[in-house]
Amino acid sequence: MAPRVVIIGAGPAGVRAAQTFVQAGLRPAVVDEGRRDGGQIYRRQPDGFSRSYDTLYGTEAERAASLHQSFDALKSRIDYLPETLVWNISANAVHTVCGTRYGTLPFDVLIVCSGATDRLMPVKGWHQAGTYSLGGAQVALKSQGCAIGSRIVMMGSGPLLYLVSAQYVKAGAQIAAVLDTSTFMQRVAALPRLLAIPAALKKGIALTRVLSAARVPVYRGVRPVEIKGSPLTGVSGVEVALADGKRTEFACDAVALGYHLRAETQLADLAGCRFVFDSDARQWLPEIDGDGRSSVKGVYLAGDGARVRGADAAERAGRLAALAALHDQGVQTPGIADMDGLRAELARFSRFAAGLRDAFPWPAQLAASLPDETIVCRCEAITAGELRRVVREAGAQEANRAKAFSRVGMGRCQGRYCGHAGAEIIAAAACVPLSSVGRLRGQAPVKPLPVALTEEEAQ
């Protein structure tokens, strides 16, 4: 019998994995939380919207079109489940919900292509209305065709900071400033690794030229101080310390904030995958081999949900994980011959990703200096001071223990947006290594579910 294949995610990794299975004569089920394929970076605009690929995706227009066309050609040969959330994974089965209907999909092979979300470091005032993640600002532009404000500050670090800024400029939005916590010299030091993928480096340079041509002020080496505003009017400005130490405020009515990306690992956790601490990235990641095999038999991880290496690498990782699964299932396919080449290409992307970490480092040092009144967990309104208190008074030096005492990470996002910063604050307050703080354990459901559900037979 043909193995039952389930792919979670229809972004770059998921589409290429599905394509590989179809080429081998299988019919995989593709479960997609989104309304349409493409994932976050190649998110499709709604029906009736007519913005061109060049306008919507910029330097990534050609790749976006290629991925969309590939998926359109696959639709009749896969079981596609859009707007469907995988809320839990048990032994050889994924549990889904679509609207108010839930179901169970058994599998022999599971490819988790869960993607990534913004990695965020809190700043005083970031709970003000009008503060978005960079990814959220990108979703507004692509899916709703609107900007998050009339005068916007982009703040943080990483390629996404410049990509979203350039996309907003091309859409006609007014960018008050781009505020980058990384320095020019950090990029110079990272150049040897960044040269591993010259085309990607060239795209990054092209983004900065878009901002320069639009005369958008770009400041590097800044230290965020506060997002100004009020509960009634929302964001009114951003205060930072510039590289020379001078305090400056930029007037705006919206802020997009982010520090590169974090792998979306909750589903891997629920599948029982073993995790390891990546000291370079300062985060816990699921353990995988060079082909995407996890520690759980039959479960494979691909794309940014396993290792953040970008969309181009995700396409290759999706295909490689599918080929590894076919090999493990004893399914013969000519594509097996491509595996060595894919491994070599992914090694280059890994070097480039390491260069990006050096060029745009996660500002871990900011956690220790956050004022006590800074809200860390926006879902539960938990402050940095409260986290420090449970470390000091309750001895909570581990993430889940701090969660139990303070409720940090118990809200709607389940720690996606506060978990990394919360761990940094705990480590700094307890004077312990970040690795010893651990990680917030995944819980089902991974996202809130409707109260009224009707059972649906597995498809």
| Tens-place pLDDT, residues 426-447 | 999 999 999 999 999 888 999 9
Identify the DSSP state of 24.
T
The CATH number for 5-117+262-356, chosen from 3.50.50.60, 1.10.4080.10, 3.40.50.720, 2.40.30.10, is 3.50.50.60
**Which pLDDT tens digit goes with each residue over 248-293?**
999 999 999 999 999 999 999 999 999 999 999 999 999 999 999 9
C-alpha to C-alpha distance for 44 and 32, rounded to whole angstroms: 13
Neighbours of 245 (CB within 10 A): 7
Which helix (H) or strand (E) is 207 found in, with range?
helix 198-213
User: ω before 450 within 30° of 0 (cis)?
Assistant: no
* Cα dihedral sign, 10-14-15-18: negative
Percent of the chain with pLDDT over 70: 98
**Which pLDDT tens digit goes with each residue over 36-74?**
898 888 888 777 777 788 777 777 888 889 999 999 999
**Which pLDDT tens digit goes with each residue over 212-253?**
999 999 999 999 999 999 999 999 999 999 999 999 999 999
pLDDT at 166 over 70: yes
Equal CATH topology for 120-259 and 365-437: no
Predicted pLDDT at 376 = 96
Predicted pLDDT at 452 = 64
- Considering only CA atoms, which of 138, 73, 80, 96 is closest in space to residue 311? 138
Average pLDDT, the chain: 93
* Secondary-structure class of domain 365-437 per CATH: mainly alpha
Predicted pLDDT at 454 = 57
Predicted pLDDT at 322 = 98
Burial, 334: exposed, middle or buried (Cβ in 10 Å; 0-12, 13-18, 19+)?
exposed
pLDDT at 459 over 70: no
**CATH placement of domain 120-259:** 3.50.50.60
Amino acid at the residue 316 = R
Q: Are 178 and 164 in contact (CB under 8 A)?
A: no
The confidence band for 111, taking pLDDT boundaries of 50, 70 and 90, is: very high
Percent of the chain with pLDDT over 90: 83
C-alpha to C-alpha distance for 39 and 16, rounded to whole angstroms: 12
Predicted pLDDT at 458 = 43
Q: Are 223 and 241 in contact (CB under 8 A)?
A: yes
Instruction: Take residue 297 and report the two structure tokens written for it.
Output: 């038999």
- Phi, psi (deg, nearest 5) at residue 107: -145, 155
Hey, where are the domains in the chain?
5-117+262-356, 120-259, 365-437
pLDDT at 101 over 80: yes
Coil/strand/helix, residue 427: helix
The confidence band for 315, taking pLDDT boundaries of 50, 70 and 90, is: very high
C-alpha 106: how far from its chain's center? 27
Coil/strand/helix, residue 255: strand
Q: What is the mean pLDDT of the segment spanning 356-370?
A: 96
C-alpha to C-alpha distance for 311 and 406, rounded to whole angstroms: 37
Beta strands 116-118; 261-263: pairing state: antiparallel
Burial, 198: exposed, middle or buried (Cβ in 10 Å; 0-12, 13-18, 19+)?
exposed
Work out the angle at residue 396's Cα, subtended by the Cα atoms of residues 391 and 399, and round it to the nearest 5 degrees.
110
pLDDT greater at residue 316 or residue 48:
316
pLDDT at 89 over 50: yes
Identify the DSSP state of 130.
T
The confidence band for 455, taking pLDDT boundaries of 50, 70 and 90, is: low
Predicted pLDDT at 87 = 96
Predicted pLDDT at 61 = 82
Predicted pLDDT at 453 = 55
Q: Are 153 and 147 in contact (CB under 8 A)?
A: no
Instruction: Take residue 278 and report the two structure tokens written for it.
Output: 């990546």
Provide the Cα torsion 24, 88, 42, 194; round to 10°. Answer: -90
